[in-house]
Structure 1
Amino acid sequence: MTELAYKDHLRLMATYNSVMNARLIAVLTPLSDAALLESRGAFFGSVLGTLNHLVVADLMWLNRFRPQPYGQVLMALDALPKPAALADLLYPTMAELTPVREELDGLILRFIEQLSDADIASPLSYKNAGGVPFTKTLGLVLSHVFNHQTHHRGQVTTLLSQMGLDIGVTDLAPLVPDLTAP
């Protein structure tokens, strides 16, 4: 059995995040923006409301990482909005949201790839959206970021199921490397 480094876990989660977001985009793109903006009783109202929440949360987290010594790869964030609230609807259409989601997923992959083990174990001091200060380990915060994505994508897949749409298997297991494979 091989030893699993935490960076391997983060790399797997970043890949899973990107793959699942691409799968959602493929299913959602043919649908009307009106259908995707329709309030369906979700915490962020609609499919697009929920997807915007994920973009907003990613922007907030990545901007917290940006000023750190390991944050240089995140300079592309300077061209993106700095949301004020977790429910901000920055992109009311799939045509507007898709390129930003894809850019963020690529940025997250590059960010994870360049982190050292020391970076992953380092403390991150930040304030949450309510202004409350925290200091937590970067690697564990990144686990939260990926878990948050999975949580809300699950809400979106439920909304899609209620609309009669199925995006297929969303499990992480198919991306987990098989140790017996050649």
Structure 2
Amino acid sequence: MIDPGYCRLMARYNAWQNRQMMECLQPMPAAELTRDRGAFFGSILGTLNHLLWGDRMWMSRFDGWARPESGITGSTALCPTLAAWSAERFRADGHITLWAEGVKAVQLAGNLTWLSGATGREVTKPMAQCVIHMFNHQTHHRGQIHAMITAAGAQAPVSDLAFMPDDA
């Protein structure tokens, strides 16, 4: 289904996208970042936090990271400010990249079983499908953030994978 090259490409894409988001959002006033814009996770910062929370949750399953302390309902409050989020995001992206650089094809085979807080039961899915989901989840929520940035009157960054620079 996927191979380690896919993981490396998507980890690189994730880090590139998040760096662009940081640059785009830094000049935005805190009130704009926290304004409820009617998105599923409310605000730009709330959605950024949920995305970081989700990455931490999946990486706790893939690579032994510490699980987030809060459940999905608390995911929007992970970091209180953009500066705090930026620092945590930078750290997480570095660790995701390291994981992707070291992942082996055998690690992507077989199943992953975990206790899902969202469903309240044990779930078993193909590992490759779970990895694809993590990267798809990132792209999905960054699309929401992109729309909120545009609605706030700011210039949203380029998000097309095909236009990612070779050195990103």
Do the two structures share a fold, i.e. TM-score over 0.5?
A: yes
Name which of 64, 81, 102 aligns with 1:114.
Answer: 102
Contact 1:44 1:87 in 2 (8 A): no
What residue number does 2:39 align with? 42
SS at match of 1:12: helix
Q: Per the alignment, in what secondary structure is the counterpart of residue 133 of structure 1?
A: strand
The DSSP-based 3-state class of the residue aligned with 1:39 is coil
Instruction: Please state how far the C-alpha of 1:176 moved relative to its aligned partner.
Output: 8.7
Task: Tell me if the contact between 1:56 and 1:86 (Cα under 8 Å) persists in the aligned partners.
Answer: no
Identity between Structure 1 and Structure 2 (%): 37
Q: Shift of the alpha carbon at 1:82?
A: 2.6
Unaligned runs of 5+ in 1: 66-70, 178-182
- What is the identity, as a one-letter code, of the residue corresponding to 1:95? A
Contact 2:17 2:159 in 1 (8 A): yes
Indicate if the aligned counterparts of 2:2 and 2:128 stay in contact, CA closer than 8 A: no
Give the TM-score normalised by the residue count of structure 1. Answer: 0.82
Q: Unpaired runs of 5+ in structure 2?
A: none
Letter in structure 1 aligned against 2:161? L
What SS class does the counterpart of residue 36 from structure 2 fall into? coil
Amino acid at match of 1:98: S
In structure 1, C-alpha distance between the alignment counterparts of 2:103 and 2:150, rounded to whole Å: 37
Matched, 1:27 2:24: yes
Aligned residues between the structures: 164
Moved over 3 A (4+): none
Given that 1:59 and 1:82 are in contact with CA atoms closer than 8 Å, whether structure 2 keeps it comes out as no
C-alpha RMSD over aligned residues: 2.0
* Cα shift at 1:90: 1.3
* 2:90 pairs with one of 102, 108, 111: 102
Q: Which moved more, 1:129-138 or 1:140-149?
A: 129-138
- 1:32-111 matched pairs, under 5 angstroms: 32-65=29-62, 71=63, 74=64, 77-78=65-66, 81-88=68-75, 89-111=77-99
Aligned partner of 1:142 among 128, 131, 142: 131
TM-score w.r.t. length of structure 2: 0.89
C-alpha contact (below 8 Å) 1:127/1:134 kept by paired residues: yes
